[in-house]
Chains A and B, each alone.
Chain A
Amino acid sequence: MASGISAVVSRPLPLFGAAAILRVGMLLYGLWQDANSPLKYTDIDYLVFTDAARFTFSSSSAWGAEASPYTRETYRYTPLLAWLMYPTTWSGTFWFSWGKMLFAAADLLAGYLVMLVLQQHLHMPTDRACRFASIWLLNPMVATISTRGSSEGLLGVLVTALLWAVLERRVVLAGALLGFGVHFKIYPFVYAPAVIWWMDVEHMRMAPVASTTPQDRERKAESEAMSDRTLMQKAKGFITTDRVKLTLVSLATFAGLNAAMYMIYGMPFLAHTFLHHVTRIDHRHNFSPYNVLLYMTSVPGATSAAPLRIESIAFLPQLLLSTVLIPLVGAKKDLPTTMLAQTFAFVTFNKVCTSQYFLWYMVFLPLYLPRSSLLHRPATRGVPALALWVAGQALWLQQGYELEFLGHSTFVPGLWAAAQTFFLVNCWILGIIVEDLALPGQ
């Protein structure tokens, strides 16, 4: 039995076959449950996407307005997502499930990219790479979220593709993916400083394909001269063609997509995709440590008594860690682990946090775990980390259940304390990930 499982997860074809079968099975089960039970398997968000697609492609909108995905209330995504959902507007259950198939396929593609990075850049033999990729590919949480129709799988592809493109030194592709990712879900902007910091002449010189071009020699000479230069020279040396290229391509992609969407959909596009995140008050209970505080301070006139409005500077620790300190210390040592730590910090310190956000960092786990102390010191690191991560959520969910379903006022101390506990657990795990950055290179 154990050897059977090991055989499945050690070779690419059975692994991807199993991952695909898992998703097809869950998708079919979901269709059955939706058709036979008043409790739906399909995520509310999926109905938002498909409604938005219908509004986008309806020839004449019922409201007499322009066809726009934002006609659907609570659609807060780029119109590109609604475009991707176009086939769901065709009749029949098969086409209605198109989006879920797309998200599930995105899972597999992200898994494939993880495999590529493991094999080509972390120089891992195929069987071992397969076993680590299976953490993502055969993860029931990942498969459930995608087959229920949540779009996080697409993010998984975008960020793994970005990582792969960077490690392959495909600067233009990386820039385009970065710009697209930020347009799609904003948060991938945290990867920009890490990628740019990583792209020094040394890293760019160590091209994936061994070859010595005149350009490489030039870069090598540049890097050798580096060590003895002044700060001013160093700053000048920081600005390389590749870095400029990445910056320009990503900005152009981001701005170009936004301009195009603004031209088609106007102000509602800006309002729902971007400005909403500025004005939202996030008062509903969620995993974020700021949650109860934000509920309290969102009430008009409630803040005057507070000596310090810490919620208004909540972005500081979050952005300091995820866009400055972690990339600065880690990017050059280990880009995948740095991106994991950045995402982990971004999610942990965010003003709003739901379990879908956990997928954002999970996609990096197969790249980090092989050399992590979580795996090498399971008794003191790995097992307690997993147990505490799960227990922190369980504690919060129990309090949330009492509030949401039993109507008990558990905001304080229960829900607040649970969120703080979960936050501190996450900080401890983040500390381990950061510490592992100092491990000898691969």
Chain B
Amino acid sequence: MRQRITFFHRHEHGIEPTSLKIKGRSISGPDLIAAREHRVTLSLDELPVELQELLRESHELHIRWSPSLSHDTLGPWNSRLPPGLHVFYTPQNDGVVDTGRLCAMLQTAFGEIDCSTTTESFTKLPNDRFSHSTAFQYFHTLDSLSPLSNYISQHACASDDSKCKSWAKELTKAASFDFSYDTISHVVKTTAVWPEGRQTLSIDSYPDHRTEVGILTPDAPARLESYELGVAGLLTVLGEDTKPSPVLFAFPARHKDADASFSSKFLKPLGLHPTLQLQFPTSKPPIDDAYCSLHAYLTLPRTIFADKYQLDDELFLASKNLTALRYISQPVDLEAPDYAMKLWGSSVLLELQPPKKESNQPWTAEIPLHLRYLSPAQGGYRSISVPWPAVFWACTAEDGTKFPSNPFDRINLGYDGLFGPRTLFWHVDPKPEAGGSLIHKVPVPVLDLDKSAWISMGTAAVVLTGFMFVVWKLLSVYLRTGYSSQTSKKEAEKKKQ
């Protein structure tokens, strides 16, 4: 096990290096106003058995979670995702039939999740574009990490390990949680980030395990490029260092804060074809000297979907301030009702079209969506959850720019694999109304179970009435004239005369 704990604070919240007390394998000091990242790197044999078994079948498994309450980002942790649980997975062997082990594990760890097997519930990701995306994707709206917190403290922490249990308990307040495994590194990395706030500085490390503590603040050296992040601060390796070592470094960062915001709402009336409207106070790109385009990445539960054929017409797209549908996971059934499907839903990458003039005028983009039929319910309505999209400017860095992995890099976010390696993501902050959630609740009209008891008998009665009426008419025609033609009957009568 290795641990890395990083505090990132604003300049004004700095602390005196001398106020840090390093004693043996622990560090303490005054409380900090900072954001905090806690990364734990584990080898397979340090994990619960069922997880070990799952990972031995996996080539790659990445889990990303983002909360439904908005939060500010600080430091190197700028990347955004639609709120919920994102899973990216590549099995060890393509041919192996999935028995549902991954879904079962997800249900054990994250609570009630609508997932049966990777084949049925996951979408396939394109593997032709960039090799670094996984084979399968899954998403589920998930408000809280409490089930995970419980699972870890009961099954992953040793019964007498209070440090592990308090870390697990704190997960419920995290602003992001990542789990990454791949067969090349053969280790599991879990990374949790807590938003800016008062942090207690008191860390004990386990014996024989490396624990690194960093206290960092932004710093802008003279020749810092726009795609770089400069930091300064103090690093301490517990058990090795007797005093913190000052550091000053800069690294390329793919995810940056665009210092802009957007809000999202459904236009009223919603109907069965609701329009998601994204509102922007400005259309200004984050940097002027690069080619930038604004994108919205949506993870749509299967109750709601975008029609790629509808999003194919330039005039139509332009009327909604959209440029193009850049990616949509396949397949998206355009007809099936929700209750006849097992696939989680679909992910969509749309390029938005801000007004041409570089004005600071507010503007909106509209995303036309369609609801599926849901199963009947009492009262005639069901509520579905639709997460806000992640919105970002994708800017191309200069030729020759390399993005070697930086210590805080976050990859496998669903959309990053859809862009080239020289792309910088400038994230636009979602700003809901005060205290608002980043999940839309959409009422969907369904058949009212309270009023439908007589549908079966009623329909039968009406159809039978109509049928009997027509049969009676046919019978009366038959009784008057038989089935033969009128002319031949007349002829026959003539003959008899």
Residues in chain A near residue B488, CB distance under 8 A? 202, 332
Proximity bits, A409-442, B CB within 8 Å = 1, else 0: 1111100100010011011101100110110110
Counting CB contacts under 8 A, is A11 at the interface? no
Q: Which residue of B lies closest to A424 (CB)?
A: B466
Q: List residues of A (329-358) whose CB comes within 8 Å of B's CBs.
A: 329-330, 332-333, 345, 348-349
Taking CB atoms, residues of chain B closer than 8 Å to A235 are none
Complex CA distance for A403 and B446, rounded to whole angstroms: 9
Within 8 A of B (CB), among A175-218: 202-203
**Which of B320, B469, B480, B492 contacts A427 (CB under 8 A)?**
B469
Known: A404-B272, A412-B451. A434 touches B456 (CB 8 A): no
A407 to B270, Cβ gap below 8 A? Answer: yes
Q: Which residues of A contact B318 (CB under 8 A)?
A: 38
Closest Cβ neighbor of A206 among chain B residues: B487
Q: How many A residues face the partner with a CB closer than 8 A?
A: 71
Using known A-B contacts A293-B456, A441-B485, determine if residue A404 contacts B273 with beta carbons closer than 8 Å. yes
**Interface residue B319 (Cβ < 8 Å from any Cβ of A):** yes
Q: Mark B441-470, 1 if CB is under 8 A from A, else 0.
A: 001111110011001101110111111011
A203 to B313, CA, bound (A): 55
CB neighbours (8 Å) of B480 from chain A are 438
Q: How large is the interface on B (under 10, 10 to 19, 20 to 34, 35 or more residues)?
A: 35 or more
Main secondary structure of the interface of A (DSSP, over half): helix
| A283 is an interface residue with CB less than 8 A from chain B | yes
Question: Is A245 in the interface zone, CB < 8 Å from B?
Answer: no
Query: A300 interface residue, CB < 8 Å from B?
Result: yes
A277 at the interface (CB under 8 A from B): no
B340, CB-defined interface residue at 8 Å:
yes
Most chain A beta-carbon contacts within 10 A, residue among B462, B473, B477, B478 = B473
A203–B373 contact, CB under 8 A? no
Contact A281 B477 (CB under 8 A): no
Is B477 touching A437 in the complex (CB atoms < 8 A)?
Answer: yes
- B460 and A308 within 8 A (CB): yes
Check if A298 is an interface residue, CB within 8 A of chain B.
yes
Q: Are A431 and B376 in contact (CB under 8 A)?
A: no
Contact A420 B445 (CB under 8 A): no
| Residue of chain B at shortest CB distance from A400 | B272
What residues of chain B lie closer than 8 Å to A407, measured between beta carbons?
A: 269-272, 274, 443-445
Shortest B60–chain A CB gap in Å is 24
Chain B residues in 8 Å Cβ range of A377: none
Distance (Å) between the CB of A35 and the closest chain B CB?
8
Q: Which residues from B are CB-within-8-Å of A427?
A: 465-467, 469-470
Given contacts A406-B271, A412-B447, A416-B458, contact A435 B477 (CB under 8 A): yes
Interface flags, B307-337, vs A, CB<8A=1, else 0? 0010001011011100000000001011101
Give per-residue flags for B325-365: 1 if the beta carbon is below 8 A from chain A beta carbons, else 0.
00000010111010110000000000000000000000000
In the bound complex, do residue A295 and residue B470 qualify as a contact, i.e. CB atoms below 8 Å apart?
no
Q: Is A244 an interface residue (CB 8 A)?
A: no
Residue of A nearest to B445 (CB): A409
**A51, A296, A328, A420: the one within 8 Å of B452 (CB):** A296
Assembled-state Cα–Cα distance A261/B487 (Å)? 44
Task: Answer whether residue B381 sits at the interface, using C-beta atoms and an 8 A cutoff.
Answer: yes
Contacts of B309 in A (CB 8 A): 44, 47, 51
Question: Is A325 positioned at the interface, with any CB of B under 8 Å from its CB?
Answer: yes
Tell me the nearest residue of chain A to B308, going by C-beta: A73
Q: B462 and A289: CB pair below 8 A? A: yes
Q: Is B469's CB under 8 angstroms from A428's CB?
A: yes
Give bound CA distance, A35 to B334, whole Å. Answer: 25
Q: Closest 10 A-B residue pairs measured CB to CB?
A: A409-B380, A441-B486, A427-B466, A409-B445, A38-B319, A317-B467, A431-B473, A405-B271, A38-B316, A434-B473
